[in-house]
Structure 1
Amino acid sequence: MPIGELCKMDVVCCRAETTIPEVAELMRRHHVGDVVVVGREAETRMPIGIVTDRDIVVEVVAQRVDMEMLTAADIMSSPLQTVEDHTGFVDTLRRMSALKVRRLPVVRPDGTLCGIVSIDDIINTLASELSTITTVLAEQPKVESRIRR
């Protein structure tokens, strides 16, 4: 399954100059733990970084930095690691594991943002697929029994 079919398409974005309190408010309002930072050409949604709730806690709150003075550009993860929308599900999981990240922005071949995938999305998909396999295995003896009558 291509990761572009699994990812969340509704990505919360901001610009590099967005202040950290504004980023935090976006996270609160949209109930997300990340905001993708996009370049000035907002209509193309070219991702340049990502700010996570953990970034805010570790880089700002824990260090008692005045968050009013900081912008997304100051704490975003950059260069941004992404995955292309045609990349397979398993390859995406391997990439996340190798990079030790819980989220990856999903981009089109031209680099524009089309979604975001989290480890939770992958776990939910795996759980669903395992449930399907379990159902097939449980039904197998019943099917064999009917065939052999």
Structure 2
Amino acid sequence: MSVGTLCNRTTVVARRGNSVVETAKIMRENHVGSVIVVDDADGAPTPVGIVTDRDLVLEVMAAELDPDTVTIGDLVARELVTARETDSLWDTLQRMRTHGTRRMPVVDHQGHLVGILSVEDMLELLAVELNELARVSAREQALEEKMRPAVR
């Protein structure tokens, strides 16, 4: 299964120039704890970072910076790790683990944003698959019991 089949294609974005207050309002309106920071390249959003509500609290509020003057671009410091929509889930999970990230923007072959994949998305898929595996095992056991000769 590829990342593109599992990722959430509804993403919430902010531009580098957005203030922290603007971004906090975007998060509140969309009931999310993070936004993908994008630049518009070739007329399409290209991810450059992720900012979380935790980033806003620790990097701005706790540092007593003026949230009206700090831009989201100021908070995007490290290189963003992305997944291509054609990447395998297993390889992407390994990359998420290696980089210590819980959310990964998903891009197309041109690097434009197409979705986001979270650890929770993968856990949900794994739970469904494990449930199916348990059902197969239970059915096999029931069939074996039915086929077993009666002991007298």
State the TM-score, normalizing by the size of structure 1: 0.91
Total equivalences in the alignment: 149
Q: CA RMSD in A?
A: 1.8
Aligned position for 1:79: 79
CA distance in 2, matches of 1:52, 1:42: 26
- Look up the equivalent residue of 1:4 and give its one-letter code: G
Q: Return 5+ residue gaps in structure 2 as ranges.
A: none
- Look up the equivalent residue of 2:85 and give its one-letter code: D
| Alignment CA distance shift 1:108-1:147 (3 Å) | farther
CA distance in 2, matches of 1:130, 1:58: 37
2:40 alignment partner, SS class: coil
1:103 aligns with 2:64: no
Deviation at 1:32, TM superposition (A): 1.1
Native 8 Å contact 1:50 1:77 kept in 2:
no
Counterpart mapping for 1:52-131 below 5 A: 52-131=52-131
CA distance in 2, matches of 1:3, 1:31: 24
The higher radius of gyration belongs to 2
- Look up the equivalent residue of 1:21 and give its one-letter code: V
1:81-102 CA-to-partner distances (Å, cap 9, x unmatched) read 1011111111111111100011
- Look up the equivalent residue of 1:38 and give its one-letter code: V
1:51 aligns with 2:70: no
- Percent of counterpart pairs with the same letter? 38
Q: Return 5+ residue gaps in structure 1 as ranges.
A: none
